[in-house]
């Protein structure tokens, strides 16, 4: 069996990022990946403006101001945000200015209103200011023509605001990946059917669809395929035609009804991974069809989820064209429970992590840690990792934690 680290590297090396470009409206750009650099013909700020409410002054006029000997200035104008100043500030003059207001010609600094006292058209300055204090200069945030946002960035709320500021109404993004989802097994039924003895409701279609959506892809649910080699061959062949990648659950172990590997080989796939030394999630098939990847992952829902979190999440980010994707978020912390493993495989125990007293502290989820116990996955935000060769991590000991 390959180690988790080896399999992670194999998968990431196989991923070919999507390069197809489409344009979407600014309103629809959230969570998409920029396909081209974004520039603006404007400087930001576009004018010198005030960062505070106060008075626009000549620095040299207020150099000697003290609480005992305030400097009087004549107010010649009031400048709210959005107003274009009409007056030039001369010696002994000032303009009342509000945050965002354009700095009038002749002024070079701002005195905040807390250091002043106004009386009609006069104001007393009780404290000197530094030259250019509280002035946001034209182009100090961004200069016209420079790269504002780089291709390969994910568009999060700050990037949405920047695109709006740049008046980028049609945003070039990479096409979203389409990921086919197949469930295999005679025992599976859809949630709308009455449950009979020996049957299992197919939750994996919904788990995978949600996971794919969260990670920037478009899920393509393709239903339940019975444990029949001919039916599976037809379903996989059609899925590969429709999707960039295909993920199937079940049928990858060593049972007499596990046909996935045989069908993939028959269809011309090149199998790169067959097993991984992790628990849960040992039976994992990764195959290539040109640039397309096929993932055959275990059918037990916890195994499905852990495999997605540990091995597929980063791969989906790379597929999307995100040039700034990062490996799985693994941190060090301490455990508040005994963590046990047989030591034969890298073991993942699910639970919750909190940052307390400067340390990540991990607590296991209540209930059985069985790969079939989907219920106690609810609300988890982390997986504790027990390395190969370790049987016990005691309460208070260090542990690696995968943040999910």
Same domain for 192 and 244?
yes
Structural domain includes residue 325:
no
Q: What is the CATH number of the domain that holds 147?
A: 3.90.105.10
HSE, side-chain direction, 13 A CA sphere, residue 61:
23
Q: Averaged over 3-10, what is the pLDDT?
A: 97
pLDDT digits (tens, 9 = 90+) for 262-298: 999 999 999 999 999 999 999 999 999 999 999 999 9
> CA-CA distances (angstroms) from residue 280 to 6, 300, 314?
17, 9, 19
Q: What is the CATH number of the domain that holds 225?
A: 3.40.980.10
CA dihedral sign, ordered 37, 42, 47, 52 = negative
Q: Is the pLDDT of residue 254 over 70?
A: no
What mean pLDDT is reported for the chain?
95
Same domain for 32 and 153?
yes
pLDDT digits (tens, 9 = 90+) for 309-354: 999 999 999 999 999 998 889 999 999 999 999 999 999 999 999 9
Q: Residue 156 is part of which domain span?
A: 27-42+142-174
Same domain for 96 and 202?
no
Q: Quick one: how far is CA 377 from the chain centroid?
A: 21
Buried b (16+ CB within 10 A) or exposed e, 143-178: eeeeebbebbbbbeeebbebbeebebeebbbbbbbb
Same domain for 159 and 132?
no
Same domain for 276 and 198?
yes
CA dihedral sign, ordered 79, 85, 86, 87 = positive
Confidence of residue 251 (pLDDT cuts 50, 70, 90): confident
Q: What is the CATH number of the domain that holds 105?
A: 2.170.190.11
**Which residues lie below 8 Å from residue 41, measured CB to CB, with a gap of 6+?**
144, 145
What are the residue ranges of helices labelled H in 91-219? 157-165, 204-214
Task: Give yes or no for a contact between 263 and 184, defined as CB atoms under 8 angstroms apart.
Answer: no
Q: Is the pLDDT of residue 387 over 70?
A: yes
Q: Is the pLDDT of residue 258 over 80?
A: no
pLDDT digits (tens, 9 = 90+) for 150-202: 999 999 999 999 999 999 999 999 999 999 999 999 999 999 999 999 999 99
Q: What pLDDT shows up at residue 129?
A: 92
Omega into 45 within 30° of 0, i.e. cis? yes
Structural domain includes residue 122:
yes
Task: Give yes or no for a contact between 273 and 2, defined as CB atoms under 8 angstroms apart.
Answer: yes
Query: In angstroms, how far is the first alpha carbon of the chain from the final one?
Result: 25
Per DSSP, what are the bridge partners of residue 245?
Answer: 179, 293
Structural domain includes residue 71:
yes
Q: What is the CATH number of the domain that holds 361?
A: 2.40.340.10
Structure tokens belonging to residue 171: 């945003």
Of 319, 351, 385, which marks where a domain is finished? 319
Residue 327 has φ and ψ, to the nearest 5°, of -60, 175
Buried b (16+ CB within 10 A) or exposed e, 103-127: bbebbbbbbbbebbeeeeeebbbbe
Same domain for 63 and 150?
no
How many domains, in total, are found in the chain? 4
Please name the residue that has the structure tokens 């980028």: 168
Structural domain includes residue 272:
yes
* pLDDT above 70 coverage of the chain, percent: 99
């Amino acid at each position: 069996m390959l180690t988790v680290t080896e399999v992670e590297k194999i998968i990431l090396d196989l991923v070919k990022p999507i390069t197809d470009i489409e344009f979407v409206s600014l309103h629809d750009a959230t969570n998409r990946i920029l396909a081209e650099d974004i520039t603006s013909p404007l400087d930001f700020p576009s004018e010198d403006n005030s960062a505070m409410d106060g008075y626009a002054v000549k620095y040299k006029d207020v150099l000697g101001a003290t609480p005992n000997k305030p400097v009087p200035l004549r107010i010649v104008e009031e400048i709210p945000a959005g107003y274009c100043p009409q007056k030039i500030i001369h010696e002994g003059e000032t303009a009342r200015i509000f945050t965002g207001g354009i700095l009038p010609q002749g002024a070079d600094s701002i005195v905040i209103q807390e250091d002043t006292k106004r009386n009609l058209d006069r104001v007393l300055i009780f404290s000197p200011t530094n030259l250019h204090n509280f002035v946001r200069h034209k182009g100090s945030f961004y200069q016209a023509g420079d790269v504002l946002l780089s291709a390969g960035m994910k568009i999060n709320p700050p990037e949405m605001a920047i695109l709006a500021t740049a008046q980028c109404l049609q945003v070039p993004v990479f096409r979203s990946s389409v990921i086919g989802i197949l469930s295999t097994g005679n025992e599976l039924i859809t949630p709308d059917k009455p449950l009979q003895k020996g049957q299992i409701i197919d939750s994996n279609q919904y788990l995978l669809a949600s996971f794919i959506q969260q990670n920037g892809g478009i899920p393509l649910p393709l239903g339940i395929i019975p444990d029949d080699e001919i039916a599976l061959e037809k379903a996989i062949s059609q899925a590969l035609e429709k999707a960039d990648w295909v993920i199937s659950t079940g049928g990858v172990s060593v049972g007499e009804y596990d046909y996935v590997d045989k069908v993939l080989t028959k269809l011309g796939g090149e199998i790169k991974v067959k097993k991984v030394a992790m628990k849960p999630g040992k039976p994992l098939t990764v195959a290539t069809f040109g640039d397309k990847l096929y993932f055959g992952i275990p059918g037990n829902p916890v195994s499905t989820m852990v495999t997605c979190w540990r091995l597929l999440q980063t791969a989906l980010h790379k597929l999307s064209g995100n040039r700034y994707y990062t490996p799985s978020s693994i941190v060090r912390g301490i455990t508040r429970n005994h963590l046990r493993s047989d030591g034969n495989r890298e073991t993942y125990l699910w639970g919750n992590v909190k940052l307390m007293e400067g340390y990540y502290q991990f607590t296991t989820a209540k209930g059985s840690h069985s790969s079939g116990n989907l219920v106690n996955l609810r609300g988890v935000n982390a997986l504790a990792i027990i390395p190969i060769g370790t049987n016990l991590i005691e309460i208070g000991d260090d542990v690696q934690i995968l943040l999910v």
